[in-house]
Chain A
Amino acid sequence: MSEPILFNVDEVALSADRCIKCNVCNTVCPVLPVTDLFPGPKYCGPQAQRFRSGHPVETWVDYCSGCGACSRACPSGVRVAELNARARARMFEQRGIPLKNRLLSRSETLGRMGSKAAPLANFGLNFGPGRVVVERILGVPREAPLPSFSQGSFRRRFRRIPQPERPSLRVGYFCGCTTNYYEPRVGEAAVRVLTRAGIGVELPEQHCCGLPFISNGDFKGARKLAEANLKALLPVIRSGKRVVATSTSCSLTLKHEYREVLGLYGPEWEELAAGVYDAFELLRELAWQGELELDATLTQRVLYHGPCQLRSHGFGFPAADLLGTLGGIELAESGVECCGSAGTYGFKGDKREIAFRVGQPLAARAKEHRAEVVACDSETCRWHIQQLTGLPARHPIELLDDAWSQAERTGD
Chain B
Amino acid sequence: MPPDRAPYDVVVVGLGLAGLMAGLGATSGGARTLLVGKGHGTLRFRSGTIDVLGYWNDRSLGSPAEGLPAVAAERPNHPYALAGEDLGSGLEAIRTTAGAAGLDLDGSLEANRMVATAAGTMRPTCLAPPTMRADWDGAHVLVVGLAGYRDFQADLVASVLPAAGAKLGLEVEARAATVDLPSLHRHHLSGLELARLFDQSAFRRELLAALRGTLGDATVVALPAVVGLEHAPEAADDLARQLGVPVAELPTLPPSVPGLRLELAITAALRRAGARLQVGTFVRAIPQGGRIGWVEIQSPGHPLRVPVGRMVLASGGLASGGLEVRLDGTLRETVAELPVWLPESAQGALVGRSFLESSGHPVSLAGVQVDGAMRPLGREGSPLYENLFAAGGLLAGADRAVEKSADGICCATGWRAAQEAVA
Chain A interface residues (CB < 8 Å from chain B): 20-24, 26-28, 32-33, 36-37, 39-40, 43, 71-77, 252, 255-256, 259-260, 270, 273-277, 281, 285, 287-290, 311-317, 321, 333, 335
Is the CB–CB distance between A23 and B44 below 8 Å?
yes
Is the CB–CB distance between B188 and A75 below 8 Å?
no
| 15 additional contacts (CB under 8 A) given A314-B280, A321-B7 | A23-B45, A26-B190, A28-B40, A33-B192, A40-B190, A75-B37, A75-B38, A75-B321, A76-B39, A77-B39, A255-B301, A288-B5, A288-B7, A314-B298, A315-B304
Q: List A contacts of B188 (CB < 8 A).
A: 32, 36, 39-40, 43
Is the CB–CB distance between A252 and B300 below 8 Å?
yes
Interface string of B16-42 (1 = CB under 8 A from A): 000000000000000000101111111
CB nearest neighbor in B for A259:
B300
A75 touching B190 in the complex, CB below 8 Å, given contacts A27-B260, A312-B280, A314-B300: no
C-alpha gap A74/B41 in the complex (Å): 9
Is the CB–CB distance between B40 and A311 below 8 Å?
no
Chain B interface residues (CB < 8 Å from chain A): 3-5, 7, 34, 36-42, 44-45, 186-188, 190, 192-193, 196, 254-255, 260, 271, 276, 278-282, 297-302, 304, 307, 319-321
Shortest C-beta distance, B322 to chain A (Å), equals 10
Among B260, B276, B298, B299, max chain A CB count under 10 A is at B299
Shortest C-beta distance, B283 to chain A (Å), equals 10
C-alpha gap A321/B40 in the complex (Å): 22
C-alpha gap A316/B254 in the complex (Å): 28
Is the CB–CB distance between B39 and A274 below 8 Å?
no
Which of A27, A37, A256, A287 touches B40 (beta carbons < 8 Å)?
A27
Shortest C-beta distance, A314 to chain B (Å), equals 3
Q: List B contacts of A255 (CB < 8 A).
A: 300-301
C-alpha gap A162/B34 in the complex (Å): 38
Q: List B contacts of A24 (CB < 8 A).
A: 39-40, 44-45, 254-255
C-alpha gap A277/B188 in the complex (Å): 40
Q: List A contacts of B320 (CB < 8 A).
A: 75
Is the CB–CB distance between B187 and A36 below 8 Å?
yes
Is the CB–CB distance between A71 and B186 below 8 Å?
no
Is the CB–CB distance between B280 and A71 below 8 Å?
yes
The 8 closest A-B pairs by CB, nearest first: A72-B280, A75-B39, A314-B299, A273-B301, A314-B281, A288-B3, A255-B301, A23-B255
Shortest C-beta distance, A254 to chain B (Å), equals 8
A289 touching B4 in the complex, CB below 8 Å, given contacts A71-B280, A313-B300: yes
Which of B3, B276, B279 touches A72 (beta carbons < 8 Å)?
B279
Which of A74, A277, A285 touches B3 (beta carbons < 8 Å)?
A285
C-alpha gap A260/B307 in the complex (Å): 29
Q: List B contacts of A74 (CB < 8 A).
A: 39
Is the CB–CB distance between A274 and B193 below 8 Å?
no
Which of A40, A71, A76, A256 touches B301 (beta carbons < 8 Å)?
A256
Shortest C-beta distance, A350 to chain B (Å), equals 16
Q: List B contacts of A335 (CB < 8 A).
A: 271
A-B contact pairs, 10 of them (CB 8 A): A21-B254, A22-B254, A23-B192, A26-B190, A270-B301, A273-B301, A285-B3, A314-B304, A315-B299, A316-B297
CB nearest neighbor in A for B283:
A314
Q: List A contacts of B4 (CB < 8 A).
A: 288-290
Among A23, A32, A256, A281, max chain B CB count under 10 A is at A23
Is the CB–CB distance between B302 and A273 below 8 Å?
yes
Is the CB–CB distance between B302 and A289 below 8 Å?
no
CB nearest neighbor in B for A255:
B301
Q: List B contacts of A289 (CB < 8 A).
A: 3-5
Q: List B contacts of A270 (CB < 8 A).
A: 301
CB nearest neighbor in B for A33:
B196
Shortest C-beta distance, A103 to chain B (Å), equals 29
C-alpha gap A232/B346 in the complex (Å): 55
Is the CB–CB distance between A27 and B44 below 8 Å?
yes
Shortest C-beta distance, B394 to chain A (Å), equals 14
CB nearest neighbor in B for A270:
B301
Among B271, B304, B321, max chain A CB count under 10 A is at B304
Is the CB–CB distance between A316 and B276 below 8 Å?
yes
Is the CB–CB distance between A276 and B301 below 8 Å?
yes
C-alpha gap A27/B43 in the complex (Å): 12
A73 touching B7 in the complex, CB below 8 Å, given contacts A314-B297, A314-B300: no
Is the CB–CB distance between A256 and B279 below 8 Å?
no
Is the CB–CB distance between A26 and B280 below 8 Å?
no
Among A36, A252, A275, max chain B CB count under 10 A is at A36
